[in-house]
Structure 1
């Protein structure tokens, strides 16, 4: 079980629980087609953004397998919203997890998503005691692949046309990192 003391601080970021007031910013950046191109959902309208915020505000702890920790990434000095990050506890028996993230396009290119995702790896390995954490993405999403590579994650699989997403067959790429690799310091800095 992991109930982090929120908000979390990294060198440049604050990772905090979502609040209902995040509705407008979530609708804005997740409402953009260029942001959701490689995600499972279409661009958010008002109703989809409201449902997402309602779900995200409750995702503040990992109490049992299947739970998701979903945090807003903000700049501490200004409170400016730069994206969101998540850690899913996928298996208790096998001590597995998965990270995910979505960056606000107005704040890309500064390493914020990588820094926040590194903190989620730390929580998964050091806080929850996971053995293996994966990152899965649409194979066309080169920017997301670069994030996982900067984190020191290894590309393990390229699955051809394994998912039917948004009316097309898509390839999925899987990256992974083991707890011993994390502890040995082989994860990217």
Structure 2
């Protein structure tokens, strides 16, 4: 009689990497605790049993993932006009010295994050603040500082577009939110906002 086993779900590359890291940590901990000269300690009857490890709350896990993802992206330190069609473009935060808008802005960007002093994050933040004011009717001070008010408005926009409300402006928020368009040919702004990305 042949045994049949249920098929296992396919794991994503990220899941495999997390499992591999956890396995490596466990092997390292066992290797560090074991020594050729000393036998492994056995639990005594008097010592209380260690409590089983508890899983981290989902909110903590999500915020840790969000923080890790934000740290992996560069800070928006410039602004550029991203073409939508022949006549219209969107002014938006971008990476300094690049045509990429795959960057982020977060609470405390005033004006540079980390040790990098190149670029102009003040302009990137002002572009975002002006757009939030026009397209979402907010009344942010256009001051070039990603403070608590800017973060709160970004969270509101993220909730409105059904994104994780972490208050970090990044690629997902950029692609979901509405933008005011600008025409270089006529040097005029659109009367409304849209999400053409």
TM-score range, shorter chain: under 0.3
State which structure, 1 or 2, has the greater radius of gyration over its C-alpha atoms: 2
TM-score, scaled relative to structure 1: 0.23
Which protein is richer in helix relative to its size?
2
State TM-score, norm by structure 2.
0.23
